[in-house]
Amino acid sequence: MGNEALDTALAGYAEVGERYVKALEDKGLVFAEPGEGAVRRAELRAELAARGVAVRNAGASLSTGHLSPACVECTGNRGSETFSTTFKCHRDCYFCFNHNQPDYDTFFREGCPWEESLARAAAENDTLACVGLTGGEPLLDLENALRFLERAGELWPSAHKRLYTSGDLLTEESAARLRDAGLDEIRFSVKDDDEPAQQERVIAAMRLARRHIPSVMVEMPVIPGAKEHMRQLFRRFEEVGIDGINLLEFCFPFCNWDEFSRRGFTLKNPPFEVMYDYGYSGGLAVAGSEELVLELMLWALDEGLTFGMHYCSLENKHRSEVRQKNERAAHAHPCVAFDEGDFFLKTAKVFGPDREAARRALEAAGCADFMEDAEEQSIAFPPRYLETARAAKRADGEPVRPMTCYLVYETEENGGYLIDVALREA
């Protein structure tokens, strides 16, 4: 005997993702084949784990060697927040996602209301662990960047402070002033398609920064097809003596698709591990980027490069948002548990003809908490009883198929509520 109720539920979740992809394809975007690259990614991840690379946030983050405190706290529980003083930039990168930011045009012209943003953040969290300054290009407005760092230091005296920059405008004087204003870490954005002379200027700026600023990092997206050039850059970074590199999954920011298309890029499919309306403005991952990141990490280990490496996937960018939404609802209901790995709220479920056998086994094991949904023909129960449900058998001898349902805690003016966003084999 099958399980029509379960099949219907799974089909419903699958349809959400299929509709999302179809709607974007109708607008001209091109996705890779479903599941393309998944086997290769799994093999590379397993090899990195076997080499001692740390697997964080349920696999969304991989790190070895130096890891910035800001990267730890991005999905940590002490708090990390990033601000901008300006959206102006002297670069025009086709993959920049700042155009997705609210009030982009206004903040580009007039600057960002960073004083108000800092005051709001301080009112919400007076023990913020990490503070970042990004842009645009913060060094286009050095004086405001310095004022920002000083004010952040007054509000959170022990906070780790970092700044993102292309490096083009850094000088000995500005580096020293940034250090004196309390800057702990500088992150250089290196563009794979920059002209050699531009990249040399940025490498020189890294060397300069080493003389003044405690921690020098690189943060850059990994663009498919750039393997050999990335290897050359890694060797240069080793010569400079950077502390570490954040390798980002290359993303399409919902603009400039023509630039992505003419380079032959397609989009990762499925676009998200868990379908949800995430707030992060980075867009959609490009197919092949993750595979290249993982290959580069293995190569760097083989080469004996000494700087730290951190793979921050698009999924990892979402983890902080999911944690902030869900951790406060960790005890919202006895049937719901907060997953410390991926930060989703989860409940266990059985469907259709599995319900009777599962309930008997669960009650015999001491489970007294259930949520029944007559329309869905399901029973939810605490995830800690999953093994009990999995061992149960129906009257026809078939094993029960328990599922894990992923939830997000949403809030509105009158309170909060849980929405289910995914259903997976437990």
End residue of a domain, out of 325, 342, 360: 325
Predicted pLDDT of residue 96: 81
Cα gap 339→319, rounded to integer Å: 11
Residue 291: phi and psi, rounded to 5, are -60, -40
Q: Helices 142-155 and 172-180 meet at what angle, rounded to 10?
A: 20
Q: Let me know if residue 21 belongs to a domain.
A: no
Least confident of 154-158, 239-243, 273-277, 280-284: 280-284
Average pLDDT of the chain to the nearest whole number: 95
**E strand or H helix at 393, and its extent?**
none
Which CATH number do you get for residue 284?
3.20.20.70
Q: How confident is the model at residue 79 (pLDDT cuts 50, 70, 90)?
A: confident
User: Cβ atoms within 10 A of the Cβ of 268, count?
Assistant: 24
Burial of 262 (0-12, 13-18, 19+ CB in 10 A): exposed
Taking a C-beta distance cutoff of 8 angstroms, is the pair 311, 59 a contact? no
Quote the DSSP letter at residue 267.
Answer: B
Are 268 and 364 in a shared domain? no
Q: What is the C-alpha to C-alpha distance for residues 328 and 64, in angstroms, rounded to an integer?
A: 30
* Mean pLDDT confidence for 291-316: 98
Confidence of residue 193 (pLDDT cuts 50, 70, 90): confident
Whether residue 26 lies inside any domain: the answer is no
For residue 208, is it within any domain?
yes
Across 417-426, average pLDDT: 96
Rg of the chain on CA atoms, in Å: 24
pLDDT at 43: 98
313 with 338, same domain: the answer is: no
- In Å, how far are 12, 85, 91, 174, 378 from 421, measured between CA atoms? 11, 35, 38, 47, 16
- Calculate the dihedral angle through the C-alpha atoms of 284, 286, 287, 289, rounding to the nearest 10 degrees: -120
In this predicted model, what pLDDT tens digit does every residue of 306-339 receive, in sequence order? 999 999 999 999 999 999 999 999 999 999 999 9
Shared domain for 309 and 349, answered yes or no, is no
Domain end position, chosen among 325, 349, 383 = 325
Same domain as 350, residue 309: no
Q: Is residue 5 over pLDDT 80?
A: yes
Least trusted range by pLDDT, from 111-115, 165-169, 292-296: 111-115
pLDDT at residue 281, as a whole number: 82
Residue carrying structure tokens 């702990």: 184
Query: Do 211 and 82 lie in a common domain?
Result: yes
pLDDT digits (tens, 9 = 90+) for 91-141: 888 888 877 777 767 777 778 899 999 999 999 999 999 999 998 999 999
pLDDT for 310 equals: 98
Q: Judge whether residue 64 has pLDDT over 90.
A: yes
Let me know whether 72 and 217 are in one domain: yes
Q: Are residues 38 and 54 in the same domain?
A: yes
Closest CA to 242 of 33, 68, 6, 389: 68
Q: Is residue 297 part of a domain?
A: yes
Cβ(160)–Cβ(130) below 8 Å: yes
Whether residues 170 and 61 fall in one domain: yes
Considering the domain architecture, whether residues 198 and 56 belong to the same structural domain is answered as yes
> What phi and psi values does residue 221 have, to the nearest 5 degrees?
-75, 150
Q: Is residue 296 over pLDDT 90?
A: yes
CB 115 within 8 Å of CB 67: no
Angle of CA points 118, 112, 325, to nearest 5°: 55
Query: Are residues 374 and 302 located together in one domain of the fold?
Result: no
Q: Is residue 232 in some structural domain?
A: yes
How much is the pLDDT for 106?
A: 76
Residue with tokens 């086997």: 39
Do the domain assignments include residue 40?
yes
The pLDDT of residue 403 is 98
* CA 7/CA 148 separation, integer angstroms: 54
| Tally of structural domains, the chain | 2
pLDDT of residue 16: 96
Provide the domain limits for residue 371. 4-16+330-425
- Report the largest interatomic distance among the alpha carbons of the chain, rounded to a whole angstrom: 78
φ, ψ of residue 310 in degrees (nearest 5): -135, 120
Contact assessment for residue 323 and residue 56, using Cβ atoms and an 8 Å cutoff: no
- Domain annotation covers residue 22: no
Residues 215 and 65 sit within 8 Å (Cβ to Cβ): no
| Residues 112 and 182 placed together within one structural domain of the fold | yes
Q: What is the pLDDT of residues 358-414, one digit of tens each?
A: 999 999 999 999 999 999 999 999 999 999 999 999 999 999 999 999 999 999 888
For position 95, what pLDDT does the model report? 86
127 phi/psi in degrees, rounded to 5: -125, 30
Identify whether residues 294 and 402 lie together within a single domain: no
Least confident of 36-40, 196-200, 385-389: 196-200
Last residue of one domain, picked from the residues 305, 325, 345? 325
Q: Is residue 24 part of a domain?
A: no
